[in-house]
Each structure stands twice: as structure tokens, then as C-alpha cells.
Amino acid sequence: MKKYTTIYDIDNIPETIQEAILLKENPFAHKALGTNKTLVMLFFNASLRTRLSTEKAAKNLGMDVMILNVNDAWNLEFEEGTIMNLNSSEHVKEAAQVISQYADIIAIRAFPSLEDKEKDTSEWILNSFTKHATVPIVNMESATMHPLQALADAITITELQKKQQPKVVLSWAPHPKALPQAVANSFVKMMQSLNIDFSITHPEGYELDSEITKNVPVYYDQKEALQDADFVYAKNWSSYESYGKVLHQDSNWMLTKDTLKEAKFMHCLPVRRNVVVEDAVLDGENSIVIQQALNRVFSAQIVLKKMLENL
Ligand code: CP
């Protein structure tokens, strides 16, 4: 694997999921692969799971890890041909090449502004590093995608599914802040790549990018959508059409024991209790959010393993 910026960088998704499940059984089996290799992780934004699970994955493979919170470094410039006489001290052209000399793989987290749709959609930070770095790039959540999360979600569903073709529903849930569409986008793409019965439910105005959802059924009635669901993935996202706006925070969309019934409850975390989902669900036996978070290690580890094999 030469890069992992979207789930489509995986050649065979079902096969990769099975490989990740095997890695989980024997996580240190490939410790020699990463010896004398370094992962540099660049964080433009906060993280708990991505930071720790990706570091753990790299260490399971024998890699060294260096982490830079980018806000602690020089202000980076991304525009080509700009006169750098304001706040930016260093251009990504030099930064990406310099970091590539210290790293065998670079992983990047860079959220969207949620203010400039065109700029966010262009993935200017991730793509600038992909363009100017000389080593493989891993997306640890960019403006529009979170492919490591989606792979962990697919691993979790595969581990727990009892039917050949389970019913999986992605449900919008309320949240007080404007959140990106990245987790939902990557989850939709991943579910389209698996043999499952998949649908989306959200209030009107929260339609995701139609280039991503394609012909996935969308319901504006959450109760109807969740009927007989095996897995329900709750996630808030801000409006894509009215870009970055919180249109409303209708608490009727909060996931409850009543609405979920026997379905397994999924969320990428962090989650706001009794806003996105009620305590009774999160603390109940059908919540699989902790297993999802564990599987973040093995989604990162299978991706890093495939990259190390290709170096
Ligand atoms: N799910 C996820 O990406 O968690 P963090 O933001 O804590 O990394």
C-alpha cells in the first residue's frame, strides 16, 4: 500500500478485514517488519483514540513513533506562490520534505474549517502533504474522510454479525456543536463496499454529499429506518448543503433503548451522553463502542503493515 487517504486505497476490503482480525489474535507476530522504521504523526487537531491506537499499532509492528502537535511548531503556509510576509513562517513544501527525511510513514490529522466548503473539499492540508512528502501518507481524519475509523467499524461489524447480510443503519444524532461529515462519509463508503443491507436516516437538511451516498436509501423517519436493524451507528454531522451549519438539535433524534430495541449501538467516540445517546444504551449490553475503539489498533496496524511491506 502506497498511501491510505481513503478506504479505496485498500485493494480488497473483505480480505483486509479478515487479515486485521488475524492480527488481533497475534499482534506482535510482525514485530521485525517495523524495526528501524519511524512513524511521524502530525496533529492539527485533538485526539484520544487515533493518537493512542495508531501509536500502539506502530509499536506492535516494532516501529519508532514521533508525534508533533502542529500548533506547537511554525505556522505553515499552503498556498503556492504566496508572499509570506504575514503569520506563516514555513511552507508545506519544505516541511513535508524535511519530515520525510525523519519518517518512513507520515500520518496526519487535519479537520475541516466547516466555513469554506470548496477549500475543505479540496483536502488542501492532506493533499499538500501527499504532494510534497516523499514517504507514504496515512489519513488520521481529514476534512472529508476518516478511513481508519471506517475500517475499525467494518472489523467490528464483521466480528459481531450473526447474519450473512445484517441490516446496518447510520443515524444522525443531535449535538450542540458543528461537527464534520468525515466519519459519516467514510462509514457510508465502507458500508457500500460490504455485502450488507445499509441505509441512512437524518432530518431534512442534513443530506450528505450525494457523490458519496449515491443510491443508499435515506429515511427522514428515524423510527421507520431503525426497524429490525442489527447495527445502528449514531453520529452527528453539520449540514453539507448549508455548509457547516447546525440547523437544529432535535432531541427526538437522540438514540434510546426504545428506538434501538435489540440493535447493537455503534459510535466512533467521543460521544456526548444524554445528547447523542442515553446512558441506558451506552452502559447497556448492546453498546459495542469500546470494541470499536479497540479495533482502531488493528485497522491502523493492518494499514501500517501493508505499507511497511511495500517500502
Ligand atoms: N474516533 C476518533 O477518531 O477518536 P479521537 O478523535 O479521539 O481520535
128 pLDDT band, cuts 50/70/90, is very high
How much is the average pLDDT of 178-196? 98
CA dihedral angle for residue 53, residue 57, residue 63, residue 68, rounded to 10 degrees: -20
User: Which residue's alpha carbon is nearest to atom 3 within ligand 1?
Assistant: 50
Residues with CB under 6 A from ligand 1: 47-50, 141, 149, 268-270
Residues in a beta bridge with 168: 198, 231
| CATH of span 7-145+296-310 | 3.40.50.1370
The answer to whether 7-145+296-310 and 149-292 have equal CATH topology is yes
Distances in Å between the Cα of 50 and the Cα atoms of 21, 166, 215, 248, 268 are 19, 27, 30, 29, 10
Q: Whose CA is nearest to atom 7 of ligand 1?
A: 48
The answer on pLDDT for 4 being more than 90 is yes
pLDDT, tens digit, 9 for 90 and up, residues 188-217: 999 999 999 999 999 999 999 999 999 999
Q: How far is CA 258 from the centre of its chain?
A: 28
pTM score above 0.95: yes
89 φ, ψ to 5°? -100, -20
Domain ranges in the chain?
Answer: 7-145+296-310, 149-292
Please compute the mean of the pLDDT values over residues 260-268 and round it to a whole number: 98
Residue 16 pLDDT > 90? yes
- CATH annotation of 149-292: 3.40.50.1370
Mean pLDDT, residues 92-96: 98
Share of the chain above pLDDT 70, in %: 100
Q: In the structure grid, which three cell numbers stand for residue 226, read together?
A: 431503525
Written as one string, the DSSP assignment of 24-48 is: HHSTTTTTTTTTT-EEEEEESS--S
Side-chain half-sphere of 14: how many Cα atoms within 13 Å? 5
Q: Which of 50, 54, 177 to mutate to test the pocket of ligand 1 (most atoms within 8 A of CB)?
A: 50
Q: What is the pLDDT of residues 282-310, one digit of tens each?
A: 999 999 999 999 999 999 999 999 999 99
Per-residue pLDDT tens over the stretch 221-250: 999 999 999 999 999 999 999 999 999 889
